[in-house]
Chains A and B, each alone.
Chain A
Amino acid sequence: MSVFMKGNEAIAEAAVRAGCRFFAGYPITPQNEIPEYLSWRLPEAGGTFIQGESEVASINMVYGAAAMGVRAMTSSSGPGISLKSEGISYMSSTKLPALIVNISRGGPGLGSIQPAQSDYLQATKALGHGGFRMMAFAPASVQEAADLAYISFDYAERDRNPVLLIADGCLGAIMEKIELPPMKETDEEATKKWSLSRQPGEKRAARALTPIYPELLLENENKMRGVLTKQWEANDVMVEEFLLEDAEYVAVAYGIAARVVKEAVLALRAEGHKIGAIRPITLFPFPKNSLRNLDYGRVKGIIDIEMALPAQMRDDIELEVRGRAPVHEYGRSGGILLDDEGVYTAVRKIIENSQLSTLN
């Protein structure tokens, strides 16, 4: 079914179609269309919507729902994700699946309500205390936002770990034509082995879901977290490589920024510049190989482009480039969007300066 939809609403509808039947959240711009949409859509689909008294309470409601084997989600923006950190860490500890959506805005602090990509480090390194990791999906279009929200529940249940979908406020607000995925039947089979759900009269041994462990067991759980991370890196990386075959310059960008970058790549190619782009779709696991395996005999420069200052993805990029090419950065911050003119001009200048310095 083809519909013209706003990013936030597409994420909400895709989640319902994926079988999500529980949402708890707290109002914060620029993600409000998600709870607004789900406030009527979930009851219609036989699910539950709760506007919690806080972000903290909302993530803990999701924790409770997930414990019962129900597909559950919450959404927020940077300041609210910080508040949810506690609950997200507990969910990872207790091994509960859920979808966490961050429609991010300018930061730090209250920042601004306009779109930004200033939560990359939070999303990929530490969504809470204690050293757990989560898969982080970063869509670049409304279609991709819906598609990734739809499959994220499967990953969350497979790994028994929450999953993050991170998009900026622009992607939340923009409207595009999309194909919605089909409605899935809710299925408790995947969670039946561990959830606290119990059909009336069902006999099974009592279960405890706990965020506290004896030391040796906790160490073992954490070793398994390391194994899980390796598995993600081996099997679950998603990346778009754009015109890399002969590229001498490689721009790296994710989300809406990557679309602006691709437009600039095309414009610069039309002028004869050999440039391509790498778009991480999973921010974690980061597409290390795409950067690691570039032909550094040919590549003269990497350009990190983000709606974040200072650039946050840069560390991950440099770890793979390993000094084999200079890493440049360009970005806007504070809620100011990147645009075609700005990125084209900046990248062109970086290339020209780089060529000049090579000549010298």
Chain B
Amino acid sequence: MKNTVLISGSGGQGVVSAGIILAESVAESASGTCLPEYGPEQRGGAAKCSVVISDGEIISPLPGKYMNFIAMNEQSHKKYIKQIKDGGLRVFNSNRITGIPADDKTILVPADDIAAEAGNPKTANIAMLGAFIKATGIVSEDNFVKTLKKKFAGKSAEILDMNIFAFKKGLNL
């Protein structure tokens, strides 16, 4: 079973980090690839990261159109929505993407609010992943937290805790 995810946002929102953590946590038990799309700008703009996940070998990591969409701001939502297949899951940051009602395929995550509550605005991406993982079951909670711990090994325990807090908030919306 192959699954594809496009994560988008503005540069600095942690789009690439989210993609890496998601793919790496999946790779604990299955196959995952993560491809950041780079542009000439170092900050701002519309950043994109694609993740391909499979329980078998990943032959092509370049689907063209993606099944699932995680969008963290309005600009990138508009830019990349055309690359999303009909009927896929959409997880939107409701603090920045407004006017879209939630339904069984659309999950609204107040990611900036959660990040503020976590005490670190940089954890909004992890809150988004929490909601996505809850809806898809694509990776176990344990493997995800294990990857978070690996990723933040060099940082303070406080930063790791903030991220775990944001993840759980997203998971239990």
Contact = CB atoms under 8 A, between A and B. Distances in A.
Given A175-B23, A259-B60, A340-B63, A113 B32 contact: no
Nearest to B62: A339
B20 interface: yes
B27 interface: yes
Q: Which of A29, A30, A174, A175 counts the most chain B CB atoms within 10 A?
A: A175
Contact of A259 (B24, B34, B40, B59): B59
A173 B31 contact: no
Q: Which of A114, A340, A341 has the most CB of B within 10 A?
A: A340
A17 interface: no
Interface in A91-146: 113-114
A57 to B, nearest CB: 25
A340 B39 CA distance: 22
Interface of A: 4, 29-30, 113-114, 170, 173-177, 256, 259-260, 262-263, 266, 337-342
Contact of A175 (B20, B38, B59, B63): B20
B59 A170 contact: no
Given A113-B40, A262-B59, A174 B35 contact: yes
B63 A174 contact: no
Interface residues of B, number: 21
A173 B23 CA distance: 14
B61 interface: yes
Nearest to A337: B62
A341 B65 contact: yes
A166 B32 CA distance: 23
Given A259-B61, A340-B62, 5 more contacts: A113-B38, A170-B61, A173-B38, A174-B34, A175-B24
A338 B38 contact: no
A272 B64 CA distance: 23
Given A29-B38, A30-B38, A113-B38, A174 B27 contact: no
Contacts of A256: 61-62
Given A338-B62, A341-B64, A170 B40 contact: no
Contact of B60 (A175, A177, A263): A263
B111 to A, nearest CB: 23
B32 A177 contact: yes
B59 A4 contact: no
